[in-house]
């Protein structure tokens, strides 16, 4: 039976605040601060456990090998070459699984299989070296070629940031849906990370029906405000699109085209007068997990920063008090991830599939959650100061921690 599985990235033991992501206001604001990898990983695990308690299917991806010595070797770089390159080799940004790939469920594709295209992430050097190890993991988790097709990255001349710029609307996870690809245009102070051509390549690879497909331009104002990915200003689930008034370049045209292709669409637009664009970006209201609970009601899983915002709280209270599609709001504490610029939605990749077709080693249950917690508590560094990146002893600790996790999960082949 097809269902939505949220695959969260386990926060890696090298989680740090090097501030490498231009345009990600939270990441650059906290640059140089001490990070807390153990707390970050446990916060992410608590969020996954919360989803299990809600009756949702939950999976995970393991951290990538860090520091990435192979990448530094290809760049002929070492500790004395360029500090940004060294810091990039330690990046734990793969924890944000929404950037791992773009996913088209089987009901939407030409061959009736779930298609995944690994994101190339070429706009940011510290992320551009993620895809080979991410691809290995995707091909292991979704190895059953009767049900999945896992593609390599789009050519690097076209920037692709994965599911963070992709939305799907459907009357059910097992029914054909409308896939919406959001791209940006360069020209402002911050780069537009998703290229229109990258989105079009992914759509063709996945064999999507042009009649159930939209390519939408992100608002330049949103990018300038720090919405480096669409999922900072818009999110969809089922028949619902939940978006900020300034998310798209031509919002009314976008809404009209959605309704033309998907008559059942429900659109909830948050006016800038109710929640300003700046507050939406700072609070990560839209970087929430919009999910369908087992009782068929929709819930919005928001970061505590959104719940603590007065304007956001007023809007959410009013929305749930009415007869709208979102019936519950569930705050979660992912403060360490938020300090690096990623909220609850950044931490997960949505895959619609039959759980029985997925490698069970990547599916979470309480016993596995306990095992992961034990490894994190025993091996993850308590804190990392960015000035210590490059330290040989710390590198050994980080590598040992990851290997301990792989052994615990019987995933040593990813070592």
In 3D space, the residue among 243, 250, 244 whose CA is nearest the CA of residue 272 turns out to be: 244
Residues in the chain: 415
Please give the DSSP secondary-structure letter assigned to residue 11.
P
Query: Token digits for 110?
Result: 């030409």
Give dist(CA 91, CA 365) in Å, integer: 28
Asked if residue 343 lies in contact with residue 332, where contact means CB atoms within 8 angstroms, the answer is no
CA 199 → CA 153, 166, 226, distances in Å? 11, 9, 21
Contacts of 310 (CB under 8 A, 6+ apart): none
The CA distance from 177 to 239, in Å, is 9
Q: CA geometry: angle at 246 spanning 28 and 29, to 5°?
A: 10
**Residue positions annotated with a catalytic role:** 161, 229, 346
HSE-CB of 306 using CA atoms within 13 angstroms: 30
Sign of the alpha-carbon dihedral angle for 240, 96, 360, 57: negative
Residue owning tokens 């690879």: 205
């Amino acid at each position: 039976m097809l269902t939505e599985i949220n695959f969260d990235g386990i926060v890696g033991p090298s989680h740090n605040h090097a501030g490498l992501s231009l345009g990600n206001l939270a990441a650059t604001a906290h640059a140089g601060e001490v990070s807390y990898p153990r707390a970050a990983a446990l916060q992410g695990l608590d969020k996954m456990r919360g989803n299990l308690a809600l009756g949702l299917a939950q999976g995970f991806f393991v951290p990538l090998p860090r520091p990435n010595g192979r990448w530094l070797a290809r760049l002929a770089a070492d500790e004395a070459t360029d500090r940004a390159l060294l810091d990039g080799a330690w990046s734990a940004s793969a924890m944000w699984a929404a950037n791992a790939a773009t996913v088209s469920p089987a009901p939407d594709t030409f061959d009736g299989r779930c298609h995944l295209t690994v994101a190339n992430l070429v706009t940011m050097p510290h992320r551009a070296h993620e895809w080979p190890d991410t691809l290995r993991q995707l091909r292991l988790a979704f190895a059953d070629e009767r049900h999945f097709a896992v593609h390599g990255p789009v050519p690097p001349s076209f920037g692709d940031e994965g599911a963070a710029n992709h939305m799907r609307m459907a009357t059910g996870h097992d029914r054909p849906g409308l896939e919406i690809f959001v791209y940006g245009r360069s020209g402002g102070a911050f780069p537009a990370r998703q290229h229109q051509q990258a989105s079009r390549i992914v759509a063709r690879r996945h064999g999507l029906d042009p009649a159930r497909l939209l390519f939408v331009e992100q608002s330049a104002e949103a990018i300038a405000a720090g919405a480096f990915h669409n999922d900072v200003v818009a999110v969809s689930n089922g028949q619902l699109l939940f978006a900020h008034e300034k998310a798209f370049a031509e919002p009314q045209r976008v809404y009209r085209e959605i309704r033309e292709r998907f008559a059942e669409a429900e659109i909830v637009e948050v006016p800038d007068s109710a929640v300003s664009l700046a507050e939406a970006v700072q609070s990560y209201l839209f970087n929430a997990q919009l999910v369908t609970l087992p009782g068929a009601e929709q819930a919005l899983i928001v970061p505590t920063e959104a719940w603590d915002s007065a304007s956001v709280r007023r809007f959410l209270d009013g929305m749930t008090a009415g007869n709208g599609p979102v019936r519950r709001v569930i705050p979660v504490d992912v403060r360490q991830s938020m300090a690096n610029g990623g909220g609850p939605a950044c931490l997960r990749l949505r895959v619609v599939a039959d759980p029985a077709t997925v490698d069970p080693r990547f599916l979470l249950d309480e016993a596995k959650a306990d095992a992961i917690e034990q490894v994190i508590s025993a091996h993850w560094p308590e804190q990392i100061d960015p000035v210590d990146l490059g330290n040989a002893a710390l590198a050994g600790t980080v590598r040992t921690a990851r290997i301990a996790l792989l052994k615990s999960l019987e995933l040593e082949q990813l070592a």
